[in-house]
């Protein structure tokens, strides 16, 4: 059977992915405390980079006070370039394009990971979460420094040999915090109307693009990831996101990655609105900017069905952890051998670093699990 997602895909800059399936960005909690990648993390990526068209790495922080997780990849100091190079070389060495995801966690940082144990954000509004710290509002000067830090992290990605960066504007982190009317209550140039809440994300995109012009080449890919809605009141609405998407379609970007848990999921703010958020964005701007869809897709049929409405690229997250050889099994006619759930017996054969494995087995309902392979 020929599968449409096995066709190559060429971005507007002429760079071609050998197929349309990407590994979704997934934090693996396995880098060293100083941000350097570890041998087990490289091995985890090596075994997952032989099939997919591109690997979007676990997110990397662009500043010291933007760290979001234990064991996060660091992109915030020049001395981390050799570590980033190891990661890029590992992924590219197996044939996938390597794209580094970059962010600042803002008010979502665990305070104990920060130099002064104080989170920061657009405004001093705590996330809706038991015991969450109220962040300190960033000054204008600090905002400008963070924007510059996104440029510096991009330069390091270029020096390390990455094929691109993905600006992480999703999943409630700092860039989203500026776009959100919940976390951004500012009335200066960075906040207010939906247009003004776009100021920070657009400034980050500009800085990244400026850096690529200066230090990289036309072949460097710049993508953007967003979450289409927030549950909070006030919070990001689909209407806000479609307005933002119109604007992003005018930017010099190569793709827009829509972060949702389920590709087909409707609105989280209005249960009666069941249309897929990914598809809505595809229908609105897909002609101008390639969309990456993601979310609870496991089998080749799932991926093909998701692409039916014209979404050209699909990222697989948990599925690529569970089945590193997903593409190879499609390629060699062994689709029925694709694993779609995790067994506690698979730890060794799956090459999953211990911290990620612990997170997976200790978070109930996160991964589809079967008890024992031979039970
Ligand atoms: C272990 C794990 C870590 C994740 N870390 C990130 C991350 O670093 N950046 C990000 O944008 N999304 C992250 N996500 C979200 C995934 O990229 C993806 O959007 C989500 O898992 C839904 O896709 P899936 O059903 O194919 O797993 C993570 C998900 C998992 C399971």
Residue to mutate (ligand 1; options 22, 26, 52, 319; most atoms within 8 A of CB): 26
**Euclidean distance between CA atoms 101 and 54, whole angstroms:** 12
Q: Which of 144, 216, 162 is nearest to 37 (CA)?
A: 162
Count of all residues that appear for the chain in the document: 375
Residues 6+ apart with CB under 8 A from 374: 345
For residue 248, what are its two tokens? 């992003």
Q: What is the mean pLDDT of residues 198-216?
A: 98
Ligand 1 atom at minimal distance to the Cα of residue 166: 11
Of the pLDDT bands very low, low, confident and very high (cuts 50, 70, 90), residue 372 is low
Q: What is the mean pLDDT of residues 224-235?
A: 98
Q: What is the mean pLDDT of residues 95-122?
A: 98
pLDDT at 357 over 50: yes
Query: What's the pLDDT score for residue 251?
Result: 98
**How far apart are the two ends of the chain, measured CA to CA in Å?**
32
Determine if ligand 1 sits within 6 Å of the CB of residue 61: no
pLDDT at 229 over 60: yes
Q: What torsion do the CA atoms of 359, 361, 362, 365 make, to the nearest 10 degrees? A: 100
Q: Give the residue ranges of DSSP H helices in the chain.
A: 39-46, 81-93, 140-160, 174-179, 194-197, 199-215, 238-248, 277-285, 300-306, 318-322, 326-331, 347-350, 354-362
Ligand 1 atom at minimal distance to the Cα of residue 294: 23
Q: Which residues on neighbouring strands pair with residue 99, listed in sequence order?
A: 56, 164
Query: What's the pLDDT score for residue 248?
Result: 98
pLDDT at 292 over 60: yes
Give the 3-state secondary structure of residue 214.
helix
Taking the centre of ligand 1 as the mean of its atom positions, its distance from the CA of residue 28, in whole angstroms, is 10
Q: What torsion do the CA atoms of 128, 116, 111, 123 make, to the nearest 10 degrees? A: 20
Query: What's the pLDDT score for residue 371?
Result: 65
Q: Name the one residue in this structure whose structure tokens are 């990001």.
A: 236
Please tell me the number of Cα atoms within 13 Å of 175 on its side-chain side: 25
Determine if ligand 1 sits within 6 Å of the CB of residue 317: yes
Q: Which of 163, 242, 254, 252 is nearest to 207 (CA)?
A: 252
Query: What's the pLDDT score for residue 346?
Result: 86
Ligand 1 atom at minimal distance to the Cα of residue 259: 19
**Euclidean distance between CA atoms 212 and 220, whole angstroms:** 7
For residue 49, what are its two tokens? 């980079």
The structure's pTM equals: 0.98
Q: What is the mean pLDDT of residues 257-281?
A: 98
Ligand 1 atom at minimal distance to the Cα of residue 69: 8
Ligand 1, atom 13, lies closest to the CA of 26
Q: What is the mean pLDDT of residues 236-241?
A: 98
Taking the centre of ligand 1 as the mean of its atom positions, its distance from the CA of residue 243, in whole angstroms, is 25
Q: Active-site residue 255, yes or no?
A: no
pLDDT at 232 over 80: yes
Angle at the Cα of 151 from the Cα atoms of 226 and 38, rounded to 5 degrees: 80
User: Which of the 8 DSSP states describes residue 308?
Assistant: G
Ligand 1, atom 19, lies closest to the CA of 259
Determine if ligand 1 sits within 6 Å of the CB of residue 319: yes
What are the pLDDT digits (tens) for 22-55? 999 999 999 999 999 999 999 999 999 999 999 9
Please tell me the number of Cα atoms within 13 Å of 27 on its side-chain side: 19
Query: What's the pLDDT score for residue 375?
Result: 40
CA distances for 373 relative to 288, 323, 339, angstroms: 46, 14, 11
pLDDT at 122 over 50: yes
Q: What are phi and psi of 99, to 5 degrees?
A: -120, 120
**Euclidean distance between CA atoms 135 and 137, whole angstroms:** 6
User: Which of the 8 DSSP states describes residue 28?
Assistant: -
């Amino acid at each position: 059977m020929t599968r449409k997602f096995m066709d190559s895909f060429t971005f507007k800059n002429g760079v071609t992915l050998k197929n349309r399936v990407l590994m979704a960005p997934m934090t693996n909690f396995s880098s060293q405390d100083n941000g350097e990648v570890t041998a087990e993390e490289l091995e985890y990526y090596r075994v997952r980079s032989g099939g997919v068209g591109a690997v979007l790495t676990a997110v990397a922080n662009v500043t010291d006070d933007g760290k979001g997780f234990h064991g996060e990849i660091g992109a915030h100091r020049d001395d981390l370039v050799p570590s980033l190079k190891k990661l890029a070389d590992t992924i590219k060495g197996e044939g996938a394009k390597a794209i580094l995801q970059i962010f600042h966690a803002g008010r979502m940082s665990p305070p104990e990971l920060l130099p002064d144990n104080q989170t920061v954000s657009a405004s001093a509004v705590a996330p809706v979460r038991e015991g969450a710290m109220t962040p300190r509002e960033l000054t204008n000067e600090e905002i400008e420094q963070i924007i510059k830090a996104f440029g510096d992290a991009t330069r390091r990605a270029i020096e390390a040999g990455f094929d691109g960066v993905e600006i992480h504007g999703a999943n409630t982190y700092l860039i989203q915090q500026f776009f959100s009317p919940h976390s951004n209550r500012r009335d200066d140039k960075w906040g207010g109307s939906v247009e003004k809440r776009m100021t920070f994300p657009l400034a980050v995109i500009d800085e990244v693009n400026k850096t690529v012009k200066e230090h990289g080449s036309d072949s460097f890919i710049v993508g953007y990831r967003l979450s289409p809605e927030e549950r909070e009141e006030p919070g990001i609405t689909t209407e806000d996101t479609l307005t933002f998407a119109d604007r992003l379609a005018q930017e010099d970007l190569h793709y827009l990655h829509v972060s949702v848990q389920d590709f087909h999921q409707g609105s989280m703010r209005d249960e009666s609105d069941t249309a897929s958020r990914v598809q809505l964005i595809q229908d609105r701007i897909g002609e101008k900017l390639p969309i990456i869809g993601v979310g609870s897709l496991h089998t080749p049929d799932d991926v093909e069905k998701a692409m039916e409405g014209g979404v050209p690229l699909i990222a697989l997250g948990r599925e690529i952890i569970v089945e590193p050889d997903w593409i190879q099994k499609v390629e060699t006619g062994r689709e029925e051998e694709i694993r779609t759930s995790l067994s506690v017996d698979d730890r060794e054969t799956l090459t999953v670093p211990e911290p990620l494995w612990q997170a997976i087995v200790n978070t109930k309902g996160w991964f589809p699990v079967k008890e024992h392979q031979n039970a």
